[in-house]
Structure 1
């Protein structure tokens, strides 16, 4: 993502965090930051449709370490999918290596957002007490599930709105073709891929995590290209 785009997003987030702002003003600044990132994805897709060399299909590995590795991997998947990336979860030591497939600009957006959201999730969990009598791990896993689900829905809505508001004819076909090409690339590397069974979580933290997901910044604040995902989630 360009430094100019990051600069715009950081300024919007700084305004949103200004104590002098009303809640409505802060929400407006946050919405604009999210809109910019989604619009960037559409702009890069349209540019690549004219010149494919500007945004090639690629892949990258993202290490997801314990604790709560499976839950953090779920957050990465929730971020990647709305941004037209696909990911494969592979065992790697005590955690996972997530193999991401996508166009270069979308992979960059996904990793930037994931890095930022990991930090926000860590802060959210640290400020959320575990209910008396409940196992901390059980509660936090369900909290992270709620957080990831809402983040995925928010990103999908932003991407849909950016595509609809682009004003470019054929943008839906361009984005659909990109998704198909990513899926074909994944199938070439993993021709016998299996879908993991759906998880069943017993904790009571889902609603609290979902609420935190609604408040989360989706502008990639204080994240720079090349930075590694923060793994500091409390045990």
Structure 2
């Protein structure tokens, strides 16, 4: 759908939608919720944000240079590295890109780039899933850690499995919302300037990546994460229910690093 003139910069997710999403996520985080209930609550919250994000993309004029945004997100112990990874992976599935700025002063930070609604959706999901990740890692440690294995190593490996699985589920929700939008635009002929959903989303990604590249013209790729614990497979299994061996972990690099 073509705009007739410049659009005002939007403030992110509408309050009504944000209220619904936060309500669903609170229910998912509730200790009294069953695993199936928690999974359903997360799926619905993710579906709502994915649908809104894609519908907004089809309405927005992505040629406006002011529209992409960026935000520094500070993370706090415990398990900051795993938190950074969770945030970066959620952001990637929500069409954002992120950088670990590098250096001691920034070792607990992630720099997110994206459109405002997508950044906000990323932060909302991250806040909920981080709580679930920490609580479920404690539970998995109590129930499944082999006798004699280091608790921290087990939890770290579990978290990697959890992050992989839960962000894959977020990605699947995005794909479903995109497929539904494509069917709708084909049936109703509402594609902006006749362009497909895929092309509009690709254009937005290009704009976001250009802003990131302008801010960080020289980036190091992140090194593969290595772990010693045996909790990875259990983390994957538990990640399916979340609301949505080698050397020890690498140390932080000093130069900015591309996360996702």
Which TM bucket (shorter chain)?
Answer: 0.7 to 0.9
Partner of 1:9: 21
Q: CA deviation at 1:217?
A: 1.6
In structure 1, distance between residues paired with 2:180 and 2:44: 14
Q: Which runs of 5+ in 1 are unaligned?
A: 219-235
Contact 1:64 1:95 (8 Å CA) reproduced: no
Contact 1:140 1:203 (8 Å CA) reproduced: yes
Q: CA deviation at 1:125?
A: 1.5
Contact 1:60 1:99 (8 Å CA) reproduced: yes
Please state if 1:142 is matched with 2:157. Answer: yes
Q: CA deviation at 1:3?
A: 2.3
Structure exhibiting the larger radius of gyration computed from Cα positions:
2
CA gap of 1:133–1:202, structure 2 versus 1, over 3 A, is same
CA gap of 1:24–1:175, structure 2 versus 1, over 3 A, is same
Aligned with 2:46: secondary structure?
Answer: helix
Aligned with 2:230: secondary structure?
Answer: coil
Aligned match for 1:214, one of 228, 240, 243: 240
Contact 2:91 2:122 (8 Å CA) reproduced: yes
Alignment of 1:114-153 (within 5 A): 114-128=126-140, 129=142, 130-153=145-168
CA gap of 1:95–1:194, structure 2 versus 1, over 3 A, is closer
Partner of 1:61: 72
CA gap of 1:190–1:164, structure 2 versus 1, over 3 A, is same
Partner of 2:97: 86
Contact 1:143 1:209 (8 Å CA) reproduced: yes
Q: CA deviation at 1:57?
A: 0.3
Partner of 2:203: 177
Partner of 1:226: none
Tell me the matched-pair count.
Answer: 217
Q: CA deviation at 1:28?
A: 5.0
What TM-score, normalized to structure 2?
0.73
Q: CA deviation at 1:92?
A: 4.4
Q: CA deviation at 1:14?
A: 7.6
Q: CA deviation at 1:66?
A: 3.1
Contact 1:49 1:174 (8 Å CA) reproduced: no
In structure 1, distance between residues paired with 2:130 and 2:39: 21
Partner of 2:51: 39
Aligned with 2:223: secondary structure?
Answer: coil
Q: Which runs of 5+ in 2 are unaligned?
A: 1-12, 186-190, 245-260
What TM-score, normalized to structure 1?
0.81
Q: CA deviation at 1:211?
A: 2.0
In structure 1, distance between residues paired with 2:225 and 2:54: 33
